[in-house]
Structure 1
Amino acid sequence: PSMERLRFVSSGTEATMAAIRVARGSTGRDMIIKIEGGFHGAHDSVLVKAGSGATTLGIPDSRGVPRDATKNTIQVPYNDPAALEEVLERFSGRIACLIMEPVLGNIGPILPDKGYLQTARRLTEENDVLLIFDEVITGFRLSLGGAQELFGIKPDLTTLGKIIGGGFPIGVFGGRADLMDQVAPGGAIYQAGTYNGSPASLAAGLATLDVMEKEDTINKLNRSGESMRLALKDMVEDLGQDWSVVGIASMFKVFFGPEPHNYAQALRCDRQGYFEFFRRMLDSGIFLTPSQYETDFISAAHNQDVIETTLEAFRSCLKS
Structure 2
Amino acid sequence: MIYQRSSALFAEAKKYIPGGVNSPVRAFKAVGGDPIFVKKAKGAYLYDEDGNKLIDYIASWGPLILGHAYDPVINAVVEKAKNGTSFGMPTEIETELAKLAISMVPNMDKIRFVNSGTEACMSAVRLARGYTGKDKIIKFAGCYHGHSDSFLIQAGSGAVTFGSPNSPGVTQGTAKDTLLAEYNDLDGVKELVKANKGELAAIIIEPIAGNMGCIIPTDIFMNGLREICTQEGILLIFDEVMTGFRLAKGGAQEVLNIKADIVTYGKVIGGGLPVGAFASRTEIMDYLAPDGPVYQAGTLSGNPLAMSAGLAMLTELNNNPEVFKSLADKTEYLHKGIAEVLTQKGIAHQINKYGSMISVHFTNEPVVDFASSAKGNNETFKKYFHGMLAKGIYLPPSAFESYFLNDAISYEDLDATINAVKEIDL
TM over 0.5: yes
Change (3 A) 1:51 1:66: closer
Note the C-alpha offset of 1:50: 5.3
Q: Tell me the equivalent position of 1:130.
A: 235
Runs of at least 4 residues off by over 4 Å: 50-53
Q: Which residue identity is paired with 1:101?
A: E
Note the C-alpha offset of 1:170: 0.6
Q: How does 1:209-224 map to 2 (within 5 A)?
A: 209-215=314-320, 216-224=322-330
SS at match of 1:115: helix
Q: Tell me the equivalent position of 1:194.
A: 299
Structure 1 residue corresponding to 2:123, chosen from 6, 18, 21: 18
Structure 2 residue corresponding to 1:244, chosen from 344, 350, 375: 350
SS at match of 1:293: coil
Q: Which residue identity is paired with 2:353?
A: G
For 1:112 and 1:239, the matched residues in 2 are separated by 29
Structure 2 residue corresponding to 1:148, chosen from 253, 260, 266: 253
Q: Tell me the equivalent position of 2:197.
A: 92
1:172 is the counterpart of 2:277:
yes
1:271 is the counterpart of 2:378:
yes
Residues 140 and 181 in structure 2, CA contact (< 8 A), matched pair in contact too = yes
For 1:171 and 1:115, the matched residues in 2 are separated by 30
Q: How does 1:225-236 map to 2 (within 5 A)?
A: 225-236=331-342
Q: Which residue identity is paired with 1:218?
A: F
Comparing 285-294 with 41-50, greater Cα deviation is found at 41-50
1:55 is the counterpart of 2:160:
yes
Note the C-alpha offset of 1:61: 1.7
Residues 104 and 111 in structure 1, CA contact (< 8 A), matched pair in contact too = yes
For 1:167 and 1:277, the matched residues in 2 are separated by 28
For 2:221 and 2:133, the matched residues in 1 are separated by 27
Note the C-alpha offset of 1:142: 1.2
Note the C-alpha offset of 1:25: 0.3
What TM-score do the two structures reach when normalised by structure 1?
Answer: 0.96
Q: How does 1:8-47 map to 2 (within 5 A)?
A: 8-47=113-152
Q: Tell me the equivalent position of 1:296.
A: 403
Q: Tell me the equivalent position of 2:417.
A: 310
In structure 1, stretches of 5+ residues that fail to align are: none
Q: Which residue identity is paired with 1:31?
A: K
1:256 is the counterpart of 2:333:
no
Aligned residue pairs, count: 319
Structure label with greater radius of gyration: 2
Residues 160 and 171 in structure 1, CA contact (< 8 A), matched pair in contact too = yes
Note the C-alpha offset of 1:241: 3.0
Residues 37 and 50 in structure 1, CA contact (< 8 A), matched pair in contact too = no
Residues 154 and 180 in structure 2, CA contact (< 8 A), matched pair in contact too = no
For 2:143 and 2:195, the matched residues in 1 are separated by 22
Note the C-alpha offset of 1:51: 8.4
SS at match of 2:164: coil
Residues 19 and 159 in structure 1, CA contact (< 8 A), matched pair in contact too = yes
Residues 184 and 218 in structure 2, CA contact (< 8 A), matched pair in contact too = yes
Q: Which residue identity is paired with 1:263?
A: F
For 1:211 and 1:275, the matched residues in 2 are separated by 37
Q: Percent identity?
A: 39
Q: Tell me the equivalent position of 1:5.
A: 110
Q: Which residue identity is paired with 1:279?
A: H
For 2:304 and 2:292, the matched residues in 1 are separated by 25
Higher relative contact order (CA 8 A, sep 6+): 2
1:283 is the counterpart of 2:385:
no
Change (3 A) 1:301 1:212: same
Note the C-alpha offset of 1:236: 2.5
For 2:156 and 2:339, the matched residues in 1 are separated by 28
Residues 182 and 189 in structure 1, CA contact (< 8 A), matched pair in contact too = yes
Q: Which residue identity is paired with 1:110?
A: I
For 1:52 and 1:139, the matched residues in 2 are separated by 34
Q: Tell me the equivalent position of 2:286.
A: 181
Residues 213 and 360 in structure 2, CA contact (< 8 A), matched pair in contact too = no
Q: Which residue identity is paired with 1:242?
A: A
Residues 51 and 264 in structure 1, CA contact (< 8 A), matched pair in contact too = no
